[in-house]
Amino acid sequence: MKLMEEQLGRVLIVRSRPVRPTEAGEAVVRLSRQISLLEQDAAAELRVGDTHAQLRVSLAADADSLATWLLDPLTHAASAHAFELELLRADPSETARLLESGRVMAVVTSENSPVAGCEISWLGALRYEPVASPVFVSEWLGDTVGGEHLDSAPFVSFDRDDELQSRWLAQRGIEPRLPPRHFVPSAHDLLRSVELGLGWAMVPTAQASAAIAAGRVVRLDGPPVRVPLYWQQWSLRSQILDGIRAEVEGEARRALDRSTASLAPSSGPHQRRGSPELQRPR
């Protein structure tokens, strides 16, 4: 490491406990991982090298995408291209940093500003429904789904960065700080807590539909929330990375809401800047 720093004339790591890379060190890490990706592509195409060696592909996404639609295309891609998959749950505020540092190769995010050296494409919108259990509606909302008493009814958030419920209340003229707020940091457990009557919440339609059909929750009056999602990856022509993107975009066309044309990019499917963000996923 010392020799590399002397050759580059830059400090690459902060010699602390634990050791961490500097900004220049992160650039070296990112370059190293990009070279490994291209080497793996070339070896597979030329049928040379260790055919049993597998590249580790690290991706990041929000919790609700992981819980609803994203695992299917990633599983298909891992099977087709024989790579080891590492998935990170990340808030939109973290995705740019993860790409810049080389920690991940691609992300699903609601952030539409591309990181330098990356390209971005619009996937669609993840739709959320306001739901609560019948018992909760009876106890807190006066047996009506109209939501006249939402200013005192508790709601459930994923974590303190989850503003879906607060923004939905604000759009209805209700001060979000008035009702009690619970935190359940798991997409599946959040829905379960709503079914049990802990509070109401905005739940992805893909999750809410089955619970509504089974009578475990009911839909509250009020508009759904649509969160635009984007795929952002390193700007490399990699067979593996492009294969993953193709699988993800294909599933997004089936699973996400693409009816709001204004959310789509105006300059093609793999543009450099997308449309304004409306909401953030968990």
pLDDT digits (tens, 9 = 90+) for 153-197: 999 999 999 999 999 999 999 999 999 999 999 999 999 999 999
Average pLDDT over all residues of the chain: 84
Report residue 87's pLDDT band, with 50, 70 and 90 as the boundaries. Answer: very high
Work out the percent of the chain whose per-residue pLDDT is above 90.
Answer: 58
The span from the CA of 199 to the CA of 32, in Å, is 47
Q: Which two tokens stand for residue 242?
A: 């492009």
- Contact yes or no for 177/183 (Cβ under 8 A): no
The span from the CA of 47 to the CA of 215, in Å, is 55
**Coil, helix or strand at residue 18:** coil
How far does Cα 141 stand from its chain's mean position? 32
What CATH number labels 127-225? Answer: 3.40.190.10
**Coil, helix or strand at residue 103:** coil
Q: Where in the chain is the domain with CATH 3.40.190.10?
A: 127-225
**pLDDT of amino acid 192:** 98
Work out whether strand 155-157 and strand 181-183 pair parallel, antiparallel, or are unpaired. Answer: parallel
The span from the CA of 24 to the CA of 58, in Å, is 21
**pLDDT of amino acid 28:** 64
Whether the ω angle into residue 18 lies within 30 degrees of 0, i.e. cis, is yes
| Cβ neighbours of 168 (radius 10 Å) | 25
**pTM higher than 0.75:** yes
**pLDDT of amino acid 125:** 96
Is pLDDT above 80 for 255?
yes
Write the secondary structure of 132-184 as one string of H (helix), E (strand) and C (coil): ECHHHHHHHCCCCCCCCCCCCCCEEECCCCCCHHHHHHHHCCCCCCCCCEEEC
Report residue 9's pLDDT band, with 50, 70 and 90 as the boundaries. Answer: low
| Cβ neighbours of 257 (radius 10 Å) | 17
